[in-house]
Structure 1
Amino acid sequence: MRAFSQVDVFTAVPYRGNPLAVVLDGEGLSTEEMQRFAAWTNLSESTFLLPPATPEADYRVRIFTPDRELPFAGHPTLGTCHAWLEAGGVPREGGEITQECAAGLIRLRGTDAGLAFQAPPLLRSGPVEGELVERIAESLRISRDDMVDVEWADNGPGWVAVLLADADAVLALSPGPVPHDVGVVGPYPEGSPCAFEVRAFSPAQDAFVEDPVTGSLNASLAQWLLRTGRATAPYVASQGTALGRAGRVHVSTGEQGEVWVGGSVVTCVSGRVVL
């Protein structure tokens, strides 16, 4: 029996964000056992806490979807850190927390909006091949002219970022199966509580999966939108509206211009799990 939490990320209200399963003691579990459990939870991600392998880290985490391991993901980073702190974890360096994952070391800290992680650098940016853009437009059931801009915004999962004219256009999407991981963003009118509406689509067998609230996507979108002058920090992005959720992602910048992505996390289930 191992300690277990199920948390809701990017929300202060239970069941309005993105859920995450956290096994608080993953020592001794094989990759196959972790993957089997992640498939059984059927959540977008499940994580396993482990002792750090590097002296700079406070803990190590492995992140699994139901069918593969990820090097990094945003809502699992915040949710795992919340569960680690709630279980008595104490940062080595006082206020800041350092998470070790397959993508390297990720910095986290507390903010007025909750926990926040420093956005990892983009692995790929720049123009997207024309054929893929056309396929994405077709899958979103819009025309190429409806896309204000399209760029690679890949910080690990492989996102292609699509900017639409406004938030209403984002919410109106009724896509078919997408050919790639696609993040769509559109601005709200000036003075609105949220600056942008975001939706995240991933391929599935003869269908697509829409993620309720996506930290990695919002991190890469923020870097793109800030660099191109389409956003100013701090700002709040809304995600999950089309799914009946109310995710809120808080984006800010640090003294060196680094991007921080944060939000609230609440614990919904705690106990022990057989593994």
Structure 2
Amino acid sequence: MSPIRYKQLDVFAARHGGGNPLGVVVDAEGWSDARMQRFAHWTNLVETTFLMPPRAAGAGYLARIFTPTKEIPFAGHPTIGSAHAALDAGLVTPDAAGIVWQECGAGVLPIRVEGSGQARELFVQAPKARIVGDASCAGETLSAVLYGVRLGALAPACVEGGRRWWIAEFADEAELRGWHPDHAAIRALAIATDTLGLCVFARSAEGLAVRAFPAGVGIVEDPASGAANGLIAAYLAERDTTGTLAKGYVVSQGREVGHDARIIIRIDGGAVWVGGRTNTIIDGSVDWRDL
């Protein structure tokens, strides 16, 4: 039996070890749902992906995304990391426009390839997002989370696009980085409003500083959130159309939990592209047998 290729990646990393870890089983054709879920539970990473031949026309491959407890249709860092692994494994090559097409639970998504080797950056076009509620929709649960926080110019909102988050702007970067949130209150907000939780941002010299708290899926703080940053970008594109961030910016995330993620946002004709660099940390094979 041929070895099953496996990679462990560092996605959206400004430095090695600074991004969000991802496990990728490259040769997952024939794996059952139960086998994938059991392996994802064993890795205990935020997400593990499984690459296999595509089902949809036009796609180069299919990426299925699992948390330790369930399959999800879309997330940003697993999408970028899966494309990185598929390119390195020779499963796909960019078309004439520099695009690879990845099938996942959210459909067939374009991923733009820029550069090569260690300097390569990948960008996924985020699912179209929309604002679905303001602070009044959350009642006292959002007020309890943000009690005592100095907020920024834009009002908090609930934004949906692939996933659903509450988003709030803080007054400045120091306020954001020094915040000690009530995680139980964020979980209560996530449950009450059927969202992942709260993502907060503040304007910085380079673009934005971001922190994400997906308590709705049991994560205290996410070091690098591609999907959440896509929603922030869509929120800014709608609410701050003439600002300095209207065409794109760079995000710093994860320093508060010992990481150093660098996520690049581009806003082009209403489309939001989320991207950055990925490092391959472990490149080998997996021996995973059915019970």
TM-score normalised by L of structure 1: 0.90
Report the 3-state secondary structure (helix = DSSP H, G, I; strand = E; otherwise coil) of the residue aligned with 1:106. Answer: strand
Amino acid at match of 1:61: A
Q: Which residue of 2 aligns with 1:2?
A: 4
1:250 maps to which of 254, 264, 285: 264
Alignment partners' CA distance in 2, 1:134 and 1:251:
32
Q: Which residue of 1 aligns with 2:114?
A: 111
| Mapped contact 1:134–1:144 kept (Cα < 8 A) | no
Alignment partners' CA distance in 1, 2:224 and 2:134:
24
Are 1:234 and 2:241 an aligned pair?
no
Single out whichever of 236-245 and 195-204 deviates more from structure 2. Answer: 195-204
Alignment partners' CA distance in 2, 1:92 and 1:249:
21
What runs of 5+ residues in structure 2 fail to find an aligned partner? 191-196
Q: Aligned ranges for residues 1-275 of structure 1 at < 5 Å? A: 1-91=3-93, 93-94=95-96, 95-111=98-114, 114-122=121-129, 124-128=130-134, 130=136, 132=138, 134-139=140-145, 142-143=147-148, 146=151, 148-175=154-181, 176-177=183-184, 178=186, 179-180=189-190, 181-188=197-204, 192=205, 194-203=206-215, 208-229=219-240, 230=243, 231-254=245-268, 256-275=269-288
Change (3 A) 1:208 1:174: farther
Question: How many positions carry a matched residue from both structures?
Answer: 267
Question: Following TM superposition, where does structure 1 have runs of at least 4 consecutive aligned residues deviating by more than 3 angstroms?
Answer: 143-148
- Percent pairwise identity: 37
Change (3 A) 1:103 1:160: same
Change (3 A) 1:10 1:214: same
Cα RMSD for the two superposed structures: 2.1
Amino acid at match of 1:7: L
The Cα offsets for residues 239-260 of structure 1, whole Å up to 9 and x where unpaired, read as: 1011121111111133x33111
Amino acid at match of 2:277: S
Shift of 1:130: 2.6
The Cα offsets for residues 86-134 of structure 1, whole Å up to 9 and x where unpaired, read as: 1113336332101101111111012367110111112x52323536253
Change (3 A) 1:137 1:270: farther
What runs of 5+ residues in structure 1 fail to find an aligned partner? none
Alignment partners' CA distance in 1, 2:145 and 2:39:
32
TM-score normalised by L of structure 2: 0.85
Report the 3-state secondary structure (helix = DSSP H, G, I; strand = E; otherwise coil) of the residue aligned with 1:32. Answer: helix
Alignment partners' CA distance in 2, 1:137 and 1:208:
21
Single out whichever of 129-138 and 241-250 deviates more from structure 2. Answer: 129-138
Amino acid at match of 1:261: V
Alignment partners' CA distance in 1, 2:94 and 2:150:
51
Shift of 1:223: 0.9
